[in-house]
């Protein structure tokens, strides 16, 4: 049972990933953070895909039902995985383009900023650095303008670009909560 954030703020769910999970027997349980819906309390995993949380920062900062459901799930050691926009929401705060800070879930020691923009673009080969229910080796891509101004803790992946150039360690792991800017495409 995988609770998946699905709405205008979390729109980057790759169909082939969802279909692969379903072929393996997973039940997909959609919920809308923007409508302040709770993730299913009986979910075995919660997935926050990428999207455009920056367009809805005030709404997300005030989505108390959604926030409480994820914080409670983390306390129960439910696996919570965020990619790109989902990763940013798992952090402490997101700073908008005008420098205003919006509190997020605080499940990762992460602060991201749209005020300090820098393009990160490219395919990545990812090597998992923690014992989690993700492929040990995977392919993904990054496409974001935000900058992580605080990103402290155990990294999730070691990354290399498509030419094999070392991109360093990316993402974070905090217990059963983890994520990165990389969108997973396929196991390597």
Of these residues, 39, 66, 84, 148, which one is catalytic?
84
Q: Contact 55/34 with Cβ under 8 angstroms?
A: no
Q: Which residues contact 47 (CB under 8 A, 6 or more apart)?
A: 2, 3, 4, 5, 81, 82, 86
**Residue labelled with tokens 């923007």:** 34
Catalytic residue flag (residue 13)? no
Tell me how far the alpha carbon of residue 175 is from its chain's centroid: 15
Residues 152, 89, 187, CA angle at the centre, nearest 5°?
80
Burial of 118 (0-12, 13-18, 19+ CB in 10 A): exposed
Q: Which residues are catalytic?
A: 84
């Amino acid at each position: 049972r995988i609770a998946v954030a699905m709405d205008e703020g979390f729109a980057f769910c790759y169909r082939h990933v969802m279909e692969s999970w379903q072929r393996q027997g997973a039940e997909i349980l959609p919920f809308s953070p923007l409508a302040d819906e709770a993730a299913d309390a009986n979910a075995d995993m919660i997935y926050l895909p990428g999207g455009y949380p920056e367009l809805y920062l005030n709404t997300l900062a005030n989505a108390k039902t959604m926030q409480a459901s994820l914080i409670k799930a983390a306390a129960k050691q439910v696996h919570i995985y965020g990619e790109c926009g989902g990763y940013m929401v798992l952090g402490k705060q997101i700073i908008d383009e005008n420098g205003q800070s919006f509190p997020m879930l605080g499940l990762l020691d992460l602060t991201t900023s749209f005020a300090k923009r820098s393009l990160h673009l490219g395919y990545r080969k990812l090597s998992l650095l923690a014992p989690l229910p993700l492929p040990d080796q995977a392919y993904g891509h990054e496409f974001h303008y935000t900058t992580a101004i605080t990103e402290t803790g155990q990294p999730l992946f070691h990354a290399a670009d498509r030419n094999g150039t070392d991109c360093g360690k990316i993402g974070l792991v905090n217990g059963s909560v983890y994520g990165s800017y990389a969108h997973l495409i396929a196991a390597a």
